[in-house]
Structure 1
Amino acid sequence: MKKKVIEIYQSGKGYKAISKALGLLRTTVRAIIYKWRKHGTVENLPRSGRPTKITPRVQRKLIQEVTKDPTTTSKELQPHLPQLRSVSHYVWRKSNTAFQKKNIIPTVKYGGGSVMVWGCFAASGPGRLAVVNGTMNSAVYQKILKENVRPSVCDLKLKRTSAAGQ
């Protein structure tokens, strides 16, 4: 396809005509012609980057293992591949499949719930603790105070003091 773009370009046609004739985007045609002018070729050029440490056969084996269970970790893969010293964890899945059920590892976030309690304490120790069921409103709060303040005062052996003495 790239060679066809260059042939048509050399015959004198513009980006728009080439784009229409081959069914390519104009930006694609422009990029192909730019590369041809700069490097004199439309072939894929060698790229920089770290060379791969695994052979195509080992890569196929990794893909095969992870296809069976997409939630496989790198530590689980290492026993299957003794010739590798370390395997980085890559995500081996097709595009647009990230949220499919088989690719999701279930977790519980934020502890899963909450409990509301009322309590009191004094210098002599802790008082009663009451669990609040449902929504806290004035009536519920008054009931909690009525049922828990006096027994807590008695349990802690607190005595009444005058406000003037403080």
Structure 2
Amino acid sequence: MAKWGPSSRLPSLVSCDSLVVQGLRCEGGAGVLNLVLSLSLSHTSRWTFNMAPHGNELSEDLKKRIVALHKDGLGYKKIAKTLKLSCSTVARSIQRFNRTGSTQNRPRCGRPRKLCARAQRHIQRMALGNRRMSAASIAAEVEGVGGQPVSAQTIRRTLHQIGLQGCRPRRKPLLKMMHKKARKRFAADKQTKDMDFWNHVLWSDETKINLFGSDGVKCVWRQPGEEYKDKCVLPTVKYGGGNVMVWGCMSAAGTGELQFIEGTMNANMYCDILKQSMIPSLWRLGRRAVFQHDNDPKHTSKMTTALLKKLRVKVMDWPSMSPDLNPIEHLWGILKRKVEVRKVSNIHQLRDVIMEEWKRIPVATCEALVNSMPKRVKAVLENNGGHTKY
């Protein structure tokens, strides 16, 4: 229902003579109509029509409390003051209850639901049973069972109502049962370790850094019709534009040595990297230092094992398929984002920028990543050896 705005106050008296002066006539049964039209035309700057505001619908619990207080003998004003509601809202709720005997709203007009509660439960079971099943496939199966045509959008709307959203799946390593058991054993063994232990661990890993573009998913903000604008496309080049492979290490004390890998790395090359880059970084951590690397065949070869034993390096037992337990994985992500911002154009510049940004990484960043190890171990135990958010 429309009401007059605060700036639309009527004049106290408006005579027909004043209307005649303005070129309007007030005669017969149309006098009131002419009066309203004249005021709306001559006072346009002062007349506004505001729609009555609509508040949120009261919950069933609140309606029942209103009725219960009224039955206890409280009046409208006291109920409104107690529940911080308006008197009109309290009155309507009580009057509706006296009329219908219930606090629930009467059935409203509108198109009835196409899917009954049983069909909605069936859709939910299918979506939870096969998380990769598309809405169109679910709609086809529902139509095949019940014979009632259902659109894919109806399926999506139904799944949204029960809290299921279509999302891009996280990319994680394939974990078999033996991997989960090994991860769980590792977490159970390390859950009692304090930060002094983790601060003496030298973390290591290899990664690839692209010259042009990124292996990750990129998003852009664009308007309709801007799909092919230069700022809204991800440029690619033939053969990938080149990349470099690097080996690096880090600890809570900061980044260690960084070594570029030429060609395909084998056990001989890895042993050279350990002697040239790993040992100096490990010595900085003192006699209690522990070296970490994954179970890559080059890392577990007889040659590598013999070298580490000869150098008296204490190596941490590491579960396979566990990049989420290695904090250097997050450090690679930080490094790649910093390198990508620099917009390098060739391999030589890429090498220089990588080394420069690697040395710029603050110690606080490495320390924060290592400090997350107790939480990572706890997450593995809570997920029974499964995937974690790290």
TM-score bracket, shorter-length normalisation: 0.3 to 0.5
Instruction: Give the TM-score taking structure 1 as reference length.
Output: 0.45
Instruction: Give the TM-score taking structure 2 as reference length.
Output: 0.23
